[in-house]
Structure 1
Amino acid sequence: AVRGGVGDAKTGGNYAASLMIAEKVKKLGYVQVLWLDAVTGRYIEEVGTMNIMFVYEGKKIVTPPLTGSILPGVTRDSLLTLAPDLGYEVSEEMLDVEQMLADVTSGKITEVFGCGTAVVISPVGKFGYKGEDYIVNNNEVGPIARHLYQALTDIQFGRVEDTYNWTHTIQVK
């Protein structure tokens, strides 16, 4: 989406516009589309209909900043709140796609995952870009993605105390 548009809102037009390219990438053997900014085509915004997060050197979680073209997801916000309490550093940064791929290749990026209400966390194991494939963490789910998933779903399902006041019990009559 372009800044000033409706990329930061859940609208039918945002989803409909992505369907044709999503079908194209599936035919190429990929599951989702990595969306880049509409102005320069360099900066990472989202993956599929999810926010995206990158783990650097097994400890720092980086996600693109909310620029008006990225959906401010509830799960994204929850993970950015929860992660520091679990001992991880978090940062919102503009991420150039070619630098990100270089960081995947060098091993500087150790995990990548999408996040959203429907999936909570969905690991990314491979990127395809300009005819090349880039494998993340040997195409395995990483320990930080597992840790964050477990911590957030434990809160959601009431297995641990919700110290953030995110959940509310509704009485059914």
Structure 2
Amino acid sequence: MKQLLAILFVAIGTSLAFAHGPTPQKVEETVSISAPPEAVWAVIGDFANLAAWHPLVVNCTGTGGNNTGAERTVELKSGGRITEGLDEYDAAGHAYSYRLAKENAEVLPVSSYSATLSVRPAGEGGSEVVWKASLYRADTGNYPPEGRDDAAATAAMKAFFRTGLDNLKQMAEARQ
């Protein structure tokens, strides 16, 4: 009986070692801007105003302002919408954190994410903007198809962040 239990334990333990779900992926993009943090925050500080500075967003509407629990619906130029919820908002610290509230894997190949956008002083009168996220791929099974895997999820998020930050830099520096 002990031998049978030992074999069963090894078999179960081995099969569990090979069965695994997705691991969280991390994405972080930064940009240096020749404008003070207050000027940059004036552009990005309104949670529901993403369309004003992100060129891939055609429309963004929100409820709840900049209060914890607020939501925004982001409509992308490529088509489709995603909904995000505001978790933390720190106007004095020039940062907010939010999460995906309603996924749309056809628009963005992720099943969930949480992200933070922040502005901090850098150099003489300049700013550094950091946009980072922790995310999971669209297909959370063990063998996701191409386009719904970790590589697709991180590439899509990095591209979205990079495009927004590059445009933000142009806008903020043009105002100086």
TM-score, with normalisation over the residues of structure 1? Answer: 0.27
- Higher relative contact order by CA 8 Å / sep ≥ 6: 1 or 2? 2
